[in-house]
Amino acid sequence: MTQPLPQSVLFCCDHNAVRSPMAEGLMKKFYGTGTYVQSVGVTNDMEIDGFSIAVCQEMGVELSRHRSRSFDEMEDWGDDLSSFDLVIALSPASQRRALELTRYYHLEVEYWPILDPTGLGETREAKLESYRAARDQIINRLTNRWGDATGGS
């Protein structure tokens, strides 16, 4: 049973460089601009991953302009965590950080255990397959939660 789209969703992972930017881009692509969607990492110590860009580009999702940011930077830049209806953690570390924030903000937190593809695969093609597997896990979670893509913007 799919659920109605929330007004705002925050995806989070470890570095905001692989899984959470993919989830942000895919959700925007699938469901349009009716839901405010952002992503963050526990830390911001990496740029967007090139393999993430490549596997999302295969689906018409542009990630090359994504700029990684942390929870702390997000607040510094004016995004109020309490304004998000749903926080979806894609890694154990980000789930812990999101749950810590529930002490200060009323946040609904879900954990989606998405494969971390970094470091997997020896060849370029094997690495791409790992990233595609993570991307496809995100797609499955999105469509199980909110139904088939509506072909948004």
In sequence order, which ranges of the chain are alpha helices (DSSP H)?
19-31, 50-57, 71-76, 92-101, 124-146
Tens-binned pLDDT, residue by residue, of the chain (153 aa): 678 899 999 999 999 999 999 999 999 999 998 899 999 999 888 788 899 999 999 999 999 999 899 988 887 776 777 888 999 999 999 999 989 888 877 788 999 999 999 988 889 999 999 999 999 999 999 999 999 877 544
Q: CB within 8 A of 143, min separation 6: which ones?
A: 30, 149
Domains along the chain with CATH numbers: 8-146 (3.40.50.2300)
* Sheet of 8-13, strand order: 36-41, 8-13, 86-89, 108-111
User: For residues 64 and 4, what is the distance between their CA atoms, to the nearest angstrom?
Assistant: 29
Q: Which two tokens stand for residue 45?
A: 């110590």
Query: What is the pTM assigned to this prediction?
Result: 0.91
> Mapping DSSP to helix (H, G, I), strand (E, B) and coil, where does residue 67 land?
coil
